[in-house]
A and B are shown apart, each in its own frame.
Chain A
Amino acid sequence: MIPFLLRRVVQSIPTLFLASLLIFFVIQLAPGDFLTPAKLNPNISPEQIAALESNFGLDRHPIEQYLLWMKNMIFNLNFGLSFQYQQPVLDVAIPRVLNSLWLVLLNLIFFYAIAIPLGVFGAVRQNSLGDKAVNVVLYFLLGFPSFFLALIVIYFILQIRNATGWDIPINGMTSNGFDAMAPLEKVWDVLKHLLIPALVLAISDAAGLTRVIRGLMLEVMRSDYIRTARAKGVSERTAIWKHTFRNAILPIVAGIGGLLPAAISGAGLTEVVFAYPGITPMILDAINTQDLYLIAGFTVLGTVLLVIGNALSDILLAVVDPRIKVG
């Protein structure tokens, strides 16, 4: 295990180096920079622009900028300064990432809680009326963008709210007067706000995983060792969960490391639609304003987590599949 981890660390160095190069220079490829709007503003004098440029380091050669950025990251864990917020990138991004993390975690719980039972059901009752009905809904969801589904849900919840007066939050992360609440009340308040966006995203994402689980289950159900298990006289439940499901999820366990970077990258457009203070709106904004180090720092963070996540996947797969050895 220790040699495996050491080898993984060494292997990740060229990966991360290449990734950082790509990240930095792809952002540079876009025409203009953070100061372009200022340069177009006749009220800002060229002297002011020049002062800002030297302040931000934008007057130096891109390669020099890159090397400085790398040096600061490696030796000081300093991801640079956000132009827009005038604060270190991590200080700006981490509170937003944490907001997103709660949403993503709740979303993942719903995601698996929907996809696993539905996928197993579809395989066990293959081609039944129930399976066909589930399939129709899933195909519909697969072809339906989650942000649009969110808009429809918001519309109906507003109708419900108007009709019943229930307080179903569909916007933001906290209610008014959040700061005055007791700690437990705060948790409950945030949970209420998370519920609808997490559920909408889970329902629309779960369609894909449900199909995958159904397919994997069907494949394993046809294998010889399931017939062996039945010939032993095991119950239907044991045959499905202990023998079939345990083998069917192996490829899913292999992909679980991808959840680590996904956990910090936020819930995408769902955050925008629900006006949720997650990381996605901030990054979209940073891309618009060409806030170089905020985008680059966030992307590097995601890449590091991806590398860690992949190593974690390999370890997990070796734990659940005795045929695979870590090494």
Chain B
Amino acid sequence: MTHQGEVLLAVNGLKTYFSTDDGVVKSVDGVTFHINKGETLAVVGESGSGKSVTSLSVMRLIPTPPGKIVEGEILFTGKDGVQKDIVKLSEADMRKIRGNDISMIFQEPMTSLNPVYTVGDQIAEAVMLHQGKNKKDAMGVATDMLRFVGIPAPEKRVNEYPHQMSGGMRQRVMIAMALSCKPALLIADEPTTALDVTIQAQILDLMRKLQADVGMSILFITHNLGVVAEMADRVVVMYGGRVVEEGDVVEIFKAPRHPYTMGLLNSIPRPGEAHEPGQPKGRLEAIPGNVPNPLSLPPGCAFEPRCKFAVPDCSKAVPALEDTGHGHMSRCIRWRDFAQAQNEVTA
């Protein structure tokens, strides 16, 4: 399914800062990653790790002021096959990309649709804008898209308002809107977080099926590692505005090379382990402490204050992102120790 080597989006050294009254918040501080064509890349991290700001930077939807992309490039190859640097595009050129080459769906389906227009109108707006269709044809496309995302009776639903639909239905409408112009990249910013679990599974199934049909890449932003295991080909783990680990999804789950990723993995409930008969109920391991204040990040590794493997060297300088083999990257000075420990266990 993945077209190896064909890079769709390459983010290089992206820095997005917000100036506040208390100082400059370095929400995204030198982030580099890429997405291949047809691939799903998951960006994982806690709230405040910079993952949403990264995705909004790719869309150039950072509210300015206070936010600003201060450095880096975002190279994107659109449907026209021309590579552009999104950071340098004019606002008019950027509008042609938004909704057409790159679409986005959001966390909150209940508030992400405009309450005063019908869902058909809202889908048709993108179609009219990017495909030059008239209102009648665009409404036809909207109806087809609603059918495509599995909404029953789309001819009737197309004339309904968002408040007449459930959360799961609205997220389907958001997906229909995002896919209406067959984008090359879909950015999904925690698209299932606000939905209940059965609906989450339906939406994830739908996204996988549509990805196979449309052949787009997905940038999947989440803090839910269960969703990552189900959806992603590769994973980028973010902490404190930086990438701390990157790699193939199987590698990340089997052999994490950064203590933060290990902490995230240990905080997933696993059936069977948690509650054995006759045993005291097992407790989930939590990562101690909180995400650091973005105004005063530690001088060294941002995770050092919460890390149980920390050594004095950790707080000296920001560790480099090192290749640990097979394109698996880690921003931890002790990754070799973890690799060794793991080899001993498997040996």
Q: How far is the CB of A317 from chain B (nearest CB, A)?
A: 12
Q: In the complex the two chains form, is A322's CB within 8 Å of B98's CB?
A: no
State A322–B113 Cα separation when bound (angstroms).
13
State A321–B115 Cα separation when bound (angstroms).
8
Q: Mark B112-151, 1 if CB is under 8 A from A, else 0.
A: 1111101000100110011000000000000000000000
Cβ 8 A contact of A231, one of B103, B114, B116: B103
Interface flag for B253 (CB, 8 Å) = no
Q: How far is the CB of A316 from chain B (nearest CB, A)?
A: 14
A231: chain B residues at CB < 8 Å are: 59, 61, 98-99, 103-104
Chain A residues near B (Cβ < 8 Å) = 223-225, 227-236, 243, 246-247, 250, 320-323
Interface flag for B79 (CB, 8 Å) = no
Q: Mark B184-225, 1 if CB is under 8 A from A, else 0.
A: 000000000000000000000000000000000000000000
Q: In the complex the two chains form, is A228's CB within 8 Å of B98's CB?
A: no
Cβ 8 A contact of A224, one of B98, B100, B111, B116: B111
Q: In the complex the two chains form, is B61's CB within 8 Å of A320's CB?
A: no
State A235–B98 Cα separation when bound (angstroms).
11
Q: Indicate whether A232 sits within 8 Å of B114 (C-beta atoms), given known contacts A227-B106, A323-B163.
A: no
Give B113's nearest chain A residue, CB to CB.
A225
A225: chain B residues at CB < 8 Å are: 111-115
State A229–B97 Cα separation when bound (angstroms).
13
Q: In the complex the two chains form, is A233's CB within 8 Å of B163's CB?
A: no
Q: List 8 A-B contacts (CB under 8 A).
A: A228-B106, A228-B113, A229-B125, A232-B129, A233-B100, A243-B114, A247-B116, A323-B161
Interface flag for B11 (CB, 8 Å) = no
Q: In the complex the two chains form, is A234's CB within 8 Å of B113's CB?
A: no
A230: chain B residues at CB < 8 Å are: 61, 98
B332: chain A residues at CB < 8 Å are: none
Q: Indicate whether A320 sits within 8 Å of B125 (C-beta atoms), given known contacts A231-B99, A231-B103, A233-B100.
A: no
Q: Indicate whether A228 sits within 8 Å of B174 (C-beta atoms), given known contacts A233-B96, A322-B163.
A: yes
Q: In the complex the two chains form, is A232's CB within 8 Å of B177's CB?
A: yes
Q: Indicate whether A228 sits within 8 Å of B125 (C-beta atoms), given known contacts A233-B95, A233-B100, A233-B130.
A: no
Q: Indicate whether A234 sits within 8 Å of B129 (C-beta atoms), given known contacts A224-B111, A228-B112, A243-B114.
A: yes
Q: In the complex the two chains form, is A322's CB within 8 Å of B116's CB?
A: yes
Interface flag for B322 (CB, 8 Å) = no
Q: In the complex the two chains form, is A233's CB within 8 Å of B99's CB?
A: yes
Count of A-B contacts judged by CB separation below 8 Å: 69
Q: In the complex the two chains form, is B116's CB within 8 Å of A320's CB?
A: yes
Q: How far is the CB of B110 from chain A (nearest CB, A)?
A: 9
Q: How far is the CB of A137 from chain B (nearest CB, A)?
A: 24
Q: In the complex the two chains form, is B114's CB within 8 Å of A228's CB?
A: yes
Q: In the complex the two chains form, is A233's CB within 8 Å of B111's CB?
A: no
B106: chain A residues at CB < 8 Å are: 224, 227-228
Q: How far is the CB of B163 from chain A (nearest CB, A)?
A: 5
Interface flag for B46 (CB, 8 Å) = no
A323: chain B residues at CB < 8 Å are: 115, 161, 163
Interface size on B, residues (CB 8 A): 29
Contact residues of A: prevailing secondary structure: helix
Q: Chain A CB within 10 Å — which of B61, B115, B118 has the most?
A: B115
B108: chain A residues at CB < 8 Å are: 224
Q: In the complex the two chains form, is A234's CB within 8 Å of B95's CB?
A: yes
| Known pairs A228-B112, A228-B113 / 10 extra A-B pairs, C-beta < 8 Å | A224-B106, A225-B111, A227-B61, A231-B98, A231-B103, A232-B129, A233-B129, A234-B95, A246-B116, A323-B115
State A180–B226 Cα separation when bound (angstroms).
88
Q: How far is the CB of B109 from chain A (nearest CB, A)?
A: 9
State A232–B118 Cα separation when bound (angstroms).
16
Q: How far is the CB of A219 from chain B (nearest CB, A)?
A: 13
B126: chain A residues at CB < 8 Å are: 232-233
B104: chain A residues at CB < 8 Å are: 231
Q: How far is the CB of A115 from chain B (nearest CB, A)?
A: 21
Q: In the complex the two chains form, is B99's CB within 8 Å of A232's CB?
A: yes
Q: In the complex the two chains form, is B125's CB within 8 Å of A234's CB?
A: yes
Q: In the complex the two chains form, is A232's CB within 8 Å of B98's CB?
A: yes
A228: chain B residues at CB < 8 Å are: 106, 112-114, 122, 174, 177
Q: How far is the CB of B149 from chain A (nearest CB, A)?
A: 16
Q: How far is the CB of B272 from chain A (nearest CB, A)?
A: 39
Q: Indicate whether A233 sits within 8 Å of B112 (C-beta atoms), given known contacts A322-B161, A322-B163, A323-B161.
A: no
State A229–B111 Cα separation when bound (angstroms).
12
Q: How far is the CB of B142 from chain A (nearest CB, A)?
A: 13
State A229–B104 Cα separation when bound (angstroms).
10
A232: chain B residues at CB < 8 Å are: 98-99, 103, 125-126, 129, 177
Q: In the complex the two chains form, is B114's CB within 8 Å of A229's CB?
A: yes
State A259–B99 Cα separation when bound (angstroms).
42
Q: Chain B CB within 10 Å — which of A223, A231, A250 has the most?
A: A231
Give B92's nearest chain A residue, CB to CB.
A235
State A225–B104 Cα separation when bound (angstroms).
12
Give A128's nearest chain B residue, CB to CB.
B65
Q: Chain B CB within 10 Å — which of A227, A228, A234, A243 has the most?
A: A228
Q: How far is the CB of A227 from chain B (nearest CB, A)?
A: 6
State A183–B100 Cα separation when bound (angstroms).
59
Q: How far is the CB of B64 from chain A (nearest CB, A)?
A: 12
State A223–B106 Cα separation when bound (angstroms).
12
B99: chain A residues at CB < 8 Å are: 231-234
B122: chain A residues at CB < 8 Å are: 228
State A34–B108 Cα separation when bound (angstroms).
66
Give B96's nearest chain A residue, CB to CB.
A233
B116: chain A residues at CB < 8 Å are: 246-247, 250, 320-322
State A229–B114 Cα separation when bound (angstroms).
8
